[in-house]
Amino acid sequence: MAGGARFSRTLPYVVPGVAAGYLYYVASNFQFNERPGTLGPDFWPEAILALMIVTCLFKIVAELAARNDAAEIGGVLEEIIEESAGEHSAGSPPGAPLVESHPYLLIAGMALTAGYVMFIQSLGFFIATVLYLALFIVLGGYRRWGVVAAVSVAGTLLLLFFFMKVVYVSLPIGQVPFAAVTLFLMQVMGIR
């Protein structure tokens, strides 16, 4: 019985691990013309799938070697959750929800994301993403404007560099006059 339970706990890792192994085989057989000094289209899929395979193998071995019964661990987690719920509901009326619901913030976040998708081609990746990140942070309730600006600009620059210089993904430059900003940043970062 214990062996069957351990095997059934490994199943959620075996199935994706086998699927990742097959997809790795497919990615390793991509046909393309190699260009010296650049990564091929097989590099990132193979890297991600290799990490997934290693993770699945690690979890399978960990589940098979585990000595503790999952029920004991679940019981500890349930106790922690019950204690936390008791502390947070001490000042609340009976039957009050433990988590606040903000459906208008959810709708505003969805509208903001839809606007980002609509305007990214005309504003370009840099300007659209800076605005999107800043507005999303403010929508979440954070009001330290210097931090909002710094995180938005630094985060977007990091994403721009990573996608265009490391991963070689072509991002929207934008239309005139916004394209000048993206082209200037690409020049400063050494992105061709």
Give the Cα separation of 137 and 154 in Å (integer): 14
- Integer-rounded Cα radius of gyration of the chain: 24
Give the Cα separation of 183 and 171 in Å (integer): 11
The helix (run of H) or strand (run of E) holding residue 9 is: helix 2-28
Quick check: 49 and 27 in contact, CB under 8 A? yes
pLDDT tens for the chain, 192 residues long, are 456 777 788 888 999 999 999 999 988 888 878 878 777 777 888 889 999 999 999 998 988 887 655 555 556 667 777 776 666 555 556 555 556 778 899 999 999 999 999 999 999 999 999 999 999 999 998 989 999 999 999 999 999 998 888 877 888 999 999 999 999 998 998 887
Q: Report phi then psi at 93, rounded to 5.
A: -70, 155
pTM score, whole prediction: 0.57
Which long-range contacts link 2-6 to residues 24+ away (Cβ below 8 Å)? 5/70, 6/63, 6/64, 6/66
